Structure 1
Amino acid sequence: MSLIGLGLLLSGQVLVVVTANQVGVVFNQINGSLRSITEGLNIILPFIEQVTLYNSRVQAITMSSSRVESAQGGEDPLEVLSSEGLVIGVDLTVLYQIDRTKINQIHLTLGPDYANTFLRPNIRSVVRIQFAEFNAIDIIGTGRAQLQAAIEDSLGKVMRDRDINLVSVNLREIRLPEQVPSRQP
């Protein structure tokens, strides 16, 4: 009877279910090795191996001043400077997806909290750098598409270097200072 109980106890720690929207990394505490696991039922060594699951769907990071969006995982608004030094408020959403085939490297270099430790700071940095190349009138006019493309190019390179794929950058709202006439397309 005690063997059955022990078997039931261990079975919960031996089997790991990885759903269709996940990929897992198994860390062996004895030899320090990593291996990835994919969808389905996976067997691990209890007490020796630890599993970390990652979301492999397209995910979003929104930086917004909207209280509703901020409560749903957004951040306070992103403020940037134009080339002439004007403070501009920006609401944007970045869609991204981890490279499932490189999950071990992502786990080693970035860890499970990569969205907060790597993506958010780099999004802010790239957006600030790119906005500083444009003047306010161009940002709300014909230069908006060029600005968005420049952000996507720069951010895409930073993310690719860490095995994360940039799906898109959506500049949702640009708030100019009152002294600049608003003429968003």
Structure 2
Amino acid sequence: MERLPRAAIFIIIGVVLFIIVLIKSAVVIDAGQAGVLFKLSDGVELENTYGEGFQIIAPWNDMIIFPVRQLSISDRMNVLSVNGLEVSVDATVWYQPEYDKLPYLYKEKGRDYVNEILSPAISAAARSVVGRYTPEQLYSSKRDVIQAEILDEVRKELESQYVQVNRVLVKDVTLPEKIKEAIERKLRQEQESLEYEFRLTKATKEAERQKIDAEGKAVANQILSASLTDKILTEKGIEATLKLAESPNAKVVVVGSGDSGLPIILGNQ
């Protein structure tokens, strides 16, 4: 087998080295990600955040890639209410690193910034907010208020920390079983009391309505009685007698008059 020319050997070595350098230099950043360049000469490049796509770097440098789309973290925390009772809060937080400040985040907080700063901030905010309320308030009508206040507290904790918190969702607040049962009994009693007051109010209004209706009828009867004289009654009786006499189904027999002076009508078919 003939030996390869020395020039060919150098060419092969050069091609291999070129491929190695190309592999080390080519970086692909996927959608929803961004890169921070670490230079061997002077450390993190703070001026630039590298966006998604194909990037070429020096082979002795390193590209650290972070997800920059919205992410979420869920945690279940045991905190104390305003009266010292332990409450379990199950919360989810949506967050994302600040794109333009990504190099600073990496330089000051490192890759594991979620455990370094985000989780402690969430726990501190939950303790601060839940500690303002009683178990009854936590269990009933304060859920939306608590979410908003935890969000404000987390944002304060992470101010100038290069992490943006978008939303907080409190999925569940778990109280000690005895406290929960006592609160449910109290809520049932309050509901029953409200229902009883409603029925009582309804009955009172109905009684007032009937009283007003009866008083109105009494006044109307008094007015009617005062206006009915004997002459008017006689005239009305004559009118009624004439209408009855005009009926085709009636046979009229007049035999004098009654006590009131009106004719007496007998017989019909």
Task: Normalising by structure 2, report the TM-score.
Answer: 0.60
| RCO higher in structure (CA 8 A, sep ≥6) | 1
> Aligned-pair distance for 1:103?
0.7
More helix by share: 2
- The Cα offsets for residues 14-51 of structure 1, whole Å up to 9 and x where unpaired, read as 1111111111100112123414211111111112x111
Give matches, 1:60-99, under 5 Å: 60-63=72-75, 77-99=76-98
More strand by share: 1
CA–CA distance in structure 2, aligned partners of residues 56 and 165 of structure 1: 10
Confirm or deny that 1:9 pairs with 2:8.
no
Give the root-mean-square deviation of aligned CA atoms.
Answer: 1.6
Query: Which residue is equivalent to 1:66?
Result: none
Where does structure 1 lack aligned partners over 5 or more consecutive residues? 64-76
Amino acid at match of 2:56: I
Q: Which has the larger radius of gyration?
A: 2
> Aligned-pair distance for 1:128?
0.9
Q: Which aligned segments of 4 or more residues in structure 1 are displaced greater than 4 angstroms? A: none
Match of 1:40 among 32, 36, 53: 53
> Aligned-pair distance for 1:179?
2.4
CA–CA distance in structure 2, aligned partners of residues 40 and 144 of structure 1: 42
Where does structure 2 lack aligned partners over 5 or more consecutive residues? 1-11, 188-269
CA–CA distance in structure 2, aligned partners of residues 102 and 141 of structure 1: 40
Count of residue correspondences: 170
CA–CA distance in structure 1, aligned partners of residues 122 and 44 of structure 2: 31
CA–CA distance in structure 1, aligned partners of residues 165 and 14 of structure 2: 50
Give matches, 1:93-108, under 5 Å: 93-108=92-107
CA–CA distance in structure 2, aligned partners of residues 99 and 87 of structure 1: 35
- The Cα offsets for residues 156-183 of structure 1, whole Å up to 9 and x where unpaired, read as 2222421211111110011011222355
CA–CA distance in structure 2, aligned partners of residues 177 and 31 of structure 1: 55
Match of 1:51 among 58, 63, 66: 63
Identical counterparts, % of pairs: 27
Query: Secondary structure at the residue paired with 1:36?
Result: coil
Query: Which residue is equivalent to 1:177?
Result: 176
Amino acid at match of 1:25: V
CA–CA distance in structure 2, aligned partners of residues 169 and 131 of structure 1: 14
Amino acid at match of 1:22: Q
2:24–2:59 CA contact under 8 A, matched in 1: yes
CA–CA distance in structure 1, aligned partners of residues 155 and 73 of structure 2: 14
CA–CA distance in structure 1, aligned partners of residues 149 and 171 of structure 2: 16
Query: Secondary structure at the residue paired with 1:133?
Result: coil
CA–CA distance in structure 1, aligned partners of residues 148 and 169 of structure 2: 10
Task: Normalising by structure 1, report the TM-score.
Answer: 0.86
Confirm or deny that 1:150 pairs with 2:163.
no
